[in-house]
């Protein structure tokens, strides 16, 4: 069964200042999402599922419906604050979205095949999609709980313009993930890299720590795990209006309970992204370089 590409694109873009998910990066107006979908098609993916907010559906359809027609099956799934498991409730004062694990969970009634989760604003490269597809259709096929992820050295995933959030990983035998902890404020200052903990303490990092960039390969079995964890999360955080549940949090819990395994696949392409508006010029230059190397055509969807 060929995999689906699940793109997390419902973010508010508060640090970027606009709807960065569809902001033009390529020479013919392509967003980073375009390159992700193009690479996924080349790797054999048969469907792309966008996780978006209802309020931006019109913008997304205007950008993607026509260009993807006949190239890959496309669907839109909405992530809204009131989408929670049956029997749960939350404070009416809450306004902040629930986080990346919730974004995956809302696709539970739509995705019935192995799938790869990515961020809309991150470039992972063609080799990443091929490696994930190979694992999901090979070593990981036929199992409900054998997952995979791409691992990147944290020093290659930072922004010059502010802090970033990364899942810091530890690995065990056979390159299996043994733990992953979400660090929401990782920064660099010159050659120094550190994360800031909940007590505002600066904890140094050497830069070669492997981190998750939210590119995971899952089977539909993950949806039940997320729902169970999400129910507990809502109950425990009823008074915390800004708390979020992240994919690494769910994955870490599953590993600790020995209910799933996650194979760390080594990054084969350079990552880059647009966390901040100031990151955009470098992303544009990176795409230009890849085009000059023949990795992509000038126009993804019309050039032969």
Q: What is the 3 state secondary structure string of 111-131?
A: CCCCEEEEECCEECCHHHHHH
Contact 30, 300 (CB under 8 A): yes
Q: Read off the pLDDT of residues 109-133 as tens digits, 9 standing for 90 and up.
A: 999 999 999 999 999 999 999 999 9
* Residue 175 within any structural domain of the chain: no
| Domain-embedded: residue 245 | no
Distances (CA, A) of 57 to 19, 62, 207: 12, 9, 38
Q: Is residue 201 part of a domain?
A: no
Residue 171 lies inside a defined structural domain of this protein: no
The verdict on residue 232 lying in a domain is yes
Which CATH number characterizes residue 92's domain?
3.90.550.10
Q: What is the pLDDT of residue 173?
A: 82
Look over the chain and give the mean of its residue pLDDT values, rounded to a whole number: 92
Range of the domain at 33: 4-151+212-239+260-292
Going through 10-87 in order, the beta strands assigned E by DSSP cover: 47-52, 73-78
The number of folded domains in the chain is 1
Give the model's confidence band at 96: pLDDT under 50 very low, under 70 low, under 90 confident, else very high: confident
Q: pLDDT (tens digit, 9 = 90+) per residue, 33-90?
A: 999 999 999 999 999 999 999 999 999 999 999 999 999 999 999 999 999 999 998 9
* Residue 288 belongs to some domain of the structure: yes
């Amino acid at each position: 069964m060929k995999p689906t590409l699940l793109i997390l694109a419902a973010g508010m873009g508060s640090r970027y200042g606009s709807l960065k998910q569809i902001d033009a990066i390529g020479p013919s107006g392509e967003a980073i999402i375009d390159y992700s979908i193009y690479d996924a098609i080349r790797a054999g993916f048969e469907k792309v599922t966008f996780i978006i907010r209802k309020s931006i559906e019109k913008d997304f359809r205007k950008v993607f419906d026509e260009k993807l027609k006949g190239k890959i099956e496309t669907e839109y799934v909405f992530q809204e604050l009131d989408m929670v498991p049956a029997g749960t409730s939350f404070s009416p004062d809450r306004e902040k979205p629930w986080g990346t694990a919730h974004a995956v969970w809302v696709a539970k009634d739509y995705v019935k095949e192995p799938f790869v989760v990515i961020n809309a604003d991150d470039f992972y490269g063609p080799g990443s999609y091929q490696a994930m597809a190979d694992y999901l259709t090979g070593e990981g096929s036929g199992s409900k709980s054998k997952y995979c992820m791409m691992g990147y050295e944290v020093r290659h995933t930072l922004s010059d313009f502010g802090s970033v959030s990364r899942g810091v990983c530890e690995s065990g035998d056979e390159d299996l993930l043994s733990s992953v902890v979400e660090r929401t404020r990782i920064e660099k200052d010159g050659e120094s890299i550190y994360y800031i903990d909940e007590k505002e303490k600066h904890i140094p990092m050497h830069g070669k720590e492997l981190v998750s960039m939210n590119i995971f390969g899952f089977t539909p079995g993950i949806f039940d795990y997320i729902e169970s964890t999400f129910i507990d999360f809502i109950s425990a955080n009823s008074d915390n209006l800004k708390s979020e549940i992240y994919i690494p949090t769910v994955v870490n819990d599953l590993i600790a309970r020995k209910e799933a395994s996650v194979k760390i696949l080594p990054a084969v392409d350079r990552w880059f992204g647009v966390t901040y508006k100031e990151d955009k010029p470098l992303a544009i230059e990176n795409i230009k370089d890849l085009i000059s190397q023949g990795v992509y055509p000038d126009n993804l969807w019309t050039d032969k």
